[in-house]
C-alpha cells in the first residue's frame, strides 16, 4: 500500500513537468493542420487543373490556415497588436523583431496583417526549418525565405514587407531575460540600406513567458549548437499568457548611416519597447494574470499612483479612471484605434459624435490618461453640474461648461479639449448616426482663434450600447426646447463591442472660415462613420462583434467590396 502511495505521489509531482513539456506540441499540431489545409488545396487545384498562388490574400487556403492562427492567438493568448498603424498600407518595410523561444508571435502577426491590413508579411527563417518534413508548403504559403542578403533586398525592392530577427535561433535558445543577442550581425542593416526602406522595430510582451528554453546546461547546448547549427535546447511552456505585439515607429532610410550605426539605432529602439512594455523580472504567473482585465488595470493604477506627485484630485482621478477603464474593457471590450493621432504634447480640439449616453468619452478619457499620460478636458452640458454629487466629479475629470472664451483659454494653455457640437440635442434625436449640428460653428471659431488642429472622433456601436426612444419625437423635442433638459427616455446598457476611432488631425488653416471648417470636420466624422459603422445599426450584430474573429471577417468583407467597387 505504501509503495502504491509513493508511486502516486511521484506521478503527481511529475505531472506539471509532463504538462509543460507536452504543451509546446500544440503548436506542432497547429503547424501540421495548416500543412494539411494547404496540401488539400493544392491537390484540389491540380485535379481541376486550376492555377493557384499560395502567396495571394484571395485564395481559400491562405485565408483558412491564417484564420486558424488568428483564432488560436485570440483564444489561447488573448493576442493583440498595438501600433498597427505603423505598418504601411502599401510599399516595402523591414520589420526587425526580438526572437522568442518559439516565434508564435510572428505567426499571429502574419495573420493580423493579413486580415487587418490585407498584406502578406514575408519572413526570414533558419535553414533547418526547410529540412523539417512537410513544412515546405507552409513556408511557401507564408512567404518564408532562407534569407540571403540578395534575396532579402530583392523581396523589399519588389514592394513587400519582410520580417527578420537578427538574433535568430541563437537568441531564441539563450536569451532568457529579453536581452538582445545579435553579436556583430549587421546583415539586416545592409539589406535596409541597399533596398532604401524604413525599419520597423517590433517586440511582443510576455513572449518568454509563453515558451521558455532551459537555462540549465547552457554551455553544453551552446557548444552543440555551434557545432551543428541546430537548436537542441529543450523548450517548455505553451502557457496561456497575455501576448501583445508592440510595433514601434518606423526608422526612416538614412543614407548617411553606416550599417553599424543603423544596427545600434534599431537595437536601441527594440530595447526601448522592451523597457516600456515588459515586466522585469519576468513572471509566468503575472503574465497569465494579464489575461484578466482587472489585473492589468490594477497594474496601470499602481504605476500611475507611483509616478503621481499631485494632490487628492490626482489620486482620485487615477482611481476613477481605473474603474471606468475596467468597466469599458469588461462590459464592452472597449478599444481605441488611432491613438497615435492624439499628440503627446501641445493643444488639440477633439470633436465627437454624441451617443445617447456618452460612456465612450469616459472610456476614451481613461485611455488617453493611462496610455498617453494626458488629461482630456471636456465640455459638458450645464445640467450635468446641477446633478447631486456631479460637480466634484466634473471638477476631478476636468469637465467645463464650455463658454467660447473658456475653451480658447484651455487650448492656448496647451491642453487637449473634447466637445460635441450636436450635444444633448444629438444625443436624444439622432437615431441612425446622423450628425445634428444645425448651424453650430462655435467649435470652429474656437479652433481658429486658438490656432489648433481638430481631431475627429467616432465610437463604433455607441448607439447600440444605449438608445433613446424613437417614438413621440415631437413631444420630447418640445419639452427639450422648453426645458433644455434631456427628457427623451434612454434604454440599453447592452454589452456591445465599442471601438473609438480617432481620425487624422485637421491642421489649422487661417484661410478657412468657421463655416468651411465646420463642413470639413463634419465630412471627416461622416467618413469615420461610413468606414466603421454598420448601417442601419443593429444591437444583435453589435453584440456578435464581441467575437473578434467574426467582426474582423465582416470588416474584411466590407473592405474587399469597397475595393471591388
> Catalytic positions, please?
99
Distance in angstroms between the alpha carbons of the first and the last residue of the chain: 76
Distance CA 329, CA 355 (A): 18
> Of 171, 275, 180, 166, nearest to 213 (Cα)?
171
Name the pairing type of β-strands 244-247 and 80-82. parallel
Q: What are the grid coordinates assigned to 100, written together? A: 522568442
Q: Which residues contact 330 (CB under 8 A, 6 or more apart)?
A: 293, 294
- CA–chain centroid gap for 183, Å, is 31
Q: What are the grid coordinates assigned to 282, written together? A: 519576468
Q: Which stretches does DSSP call E strand in 238-394?
A: 244-247, 335-337, 348-352, 376-379
Q: What are the grid coordinates assigned to 34, written together? A: 495548416
Q: What are the grid coordinates assigned to 357, written together? A: 449616453
Distance CA 356, CA 532 (A): 18
What are the Cα distances from residue 217, in Å, to 22, 183, 213, 221, 440?
Answer: 21, 21, 11, 6, 72
Q: Which stretches does DSSP call E strand in 140-229?
A: 144-145, 161-164, 199-205, 211-213
Rg of the Cα trace of the chain? 27
User: H or E stretch including 460?
Assistant: strand 454-460
Quick count: other Cβ atoms within 10 Å of Cβ 349? Answer: 25
Amino acid at each position: 500500500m505504501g509503495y502504491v502511495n509513493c508511486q502516486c505521489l511521484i506521478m503527481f509531482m511529475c505531472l506539471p513537468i509532463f504538462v509543460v513539456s507536452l504543451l509546446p506540441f500544440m503548436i506542432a499540431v497547429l503547424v501540421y493542420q495548416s500543412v494539411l489545409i494547404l496540401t488539400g488545396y493544392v491537390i484540389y487545384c491540380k485535379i481541376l487543373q486550376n492555377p493557384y498562388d499560395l502567396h495571394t490574400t484571395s485564395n481559400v487556403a491562405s485565408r483558412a490556415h491564417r484564420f486558424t492562427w488568428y483564432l488560436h492567438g485570440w483564444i489561447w493568448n488573448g493576442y493583440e497588436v498595438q501600433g498597427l498603424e505603423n505598418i504601411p498600407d502599401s510599399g516595402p518595410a523591414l520589420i526587425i523583431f526580438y526572437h522568442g523561444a518559439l516565434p508564435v508571435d510572428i505567426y499571429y502577426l502574419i495573420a493580423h496583417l493579413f486580415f487587418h491590413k490585407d498584406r502578406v508579411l514575408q519572413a526570414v527563417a533558419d535553414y533547418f526549418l526547410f529540412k523539417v518534413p512537410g513544412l515546405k508548403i507552409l513556408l511557401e504559403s507564408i512567404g518564408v525565405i532562407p534569407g540571403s542578403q540578395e534575396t532579402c533586398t530583392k523581396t523589399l525592392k519588389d514592394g513587400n514587407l519582410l520580417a527578420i530577427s537578427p538574433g535568430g535561433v541563437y537568441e531564441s535558445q539563450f536569451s532568457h531575460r529579453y536581452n538582445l543577442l545579435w553579436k556583430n550581425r549587421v546583415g539586416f542593416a545592409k539589406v535596409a540600406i541597399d533596398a532604401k526602406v524604413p525599419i520597423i522595430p517590433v517586440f511582443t510582451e510576455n513572449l518568454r513567458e509563453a515558451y521558455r528554453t532551459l537555462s540549465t546546461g547552457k554551455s553544453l547546448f551552446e557548444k552543440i549548437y555551434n557545432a551543428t547549427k541546430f537548436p537542441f535546447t529543450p523548450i517548455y511552456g505553451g502557457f496561456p499568457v497575455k501576448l501583445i505585439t508592440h510595433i514601434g515607429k518606423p526608422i526612416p532610410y538614412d543614407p548617411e548611416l553606416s550599417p553599424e550605426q543603423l544596427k545600434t539605432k534599431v537595437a536601441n529602439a527594440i530595447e526601448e519597447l522592451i523597457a516600456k512594455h515588459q515586466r522585469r523580472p519576468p513572471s509566468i504567473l503575472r503574465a497569465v494574470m494579464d489575461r484578466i482585465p482587472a489585473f492589468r488595470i490594477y497594474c496601470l493604477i499602481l504605476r500611475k499612483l507611483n509616478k503621481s506627485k499631485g494632490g487628492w484630485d490626482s489620486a482620485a482621478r487615477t482611481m476613477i479612471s481605473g474603474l471606468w477603464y475596467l468597466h469599458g474593457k469588461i462590459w464592452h471590450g472597449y478599444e481605441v484605434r488611432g491613438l497615435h493621432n492624439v499628440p503627446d504634447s501641445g493643444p488639440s480640439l477633439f470633436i465627437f459624435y454624441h451617443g445617447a449616453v456618452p460612456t465612450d468619452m469616459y472610456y476614451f478619457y481613461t485611455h488617453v490618461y493611462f496610455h498617453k499620460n494626458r488629461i482630456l478636458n471636456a465640455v459638458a452640458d450645464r445640467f450635468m453640474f446641477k446633478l447631486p454629487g456631479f460637480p466634484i466629479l466634473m471638477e476631478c475629470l476636468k469637465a467645463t461648461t464650455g463658454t467660447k472664451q473658456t475653451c480658447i483659454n484651455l487650448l492656448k494653455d496647451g491642453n487637449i479639449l473634447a466637445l460635441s457640437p450636436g450635444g444633448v440635442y444629438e444625443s436624444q434625436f439622432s437615431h441612425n448616426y446622423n450628425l445634428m449640428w444645425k448651424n453650430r460653428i462655435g467649435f470652429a471659431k474656437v479652433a481658429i482663434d486658438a490656432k489648433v488642429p481638430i481631431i475627429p472622433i467616432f465610437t463604433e456601436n455607441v448607439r447600440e450600447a444605449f438608445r433613446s426612444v424613437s417614438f413621440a419625437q415631437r413631444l420630447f423635442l418640445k419639452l427639450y426646447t422648453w426645458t433644455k433638459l434631456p427628457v427623451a427616455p434612454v434604454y440599453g446598457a447592452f454589452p456591445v463591442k465599442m471601438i473609438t476611432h480617432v481620425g487624422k488631425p485637421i491642421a489649422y488653416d487661417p484661410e478657412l472660415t468657421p463655416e468651411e471648417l465646420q463642413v470639413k470636420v463634419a465630412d471627416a466624422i461622416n467618413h469615420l462613420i461610413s468606414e466603421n459603422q454598420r448601417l442601419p445599426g443593429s444591437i444583435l450584430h453589435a453584440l456578435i462583434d464581441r467575437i473578434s474573429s467574426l467582426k474582423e471577417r465582416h470588416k474584411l468583407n466590407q473592405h474587399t467590396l469597397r475595393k471591388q467597387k
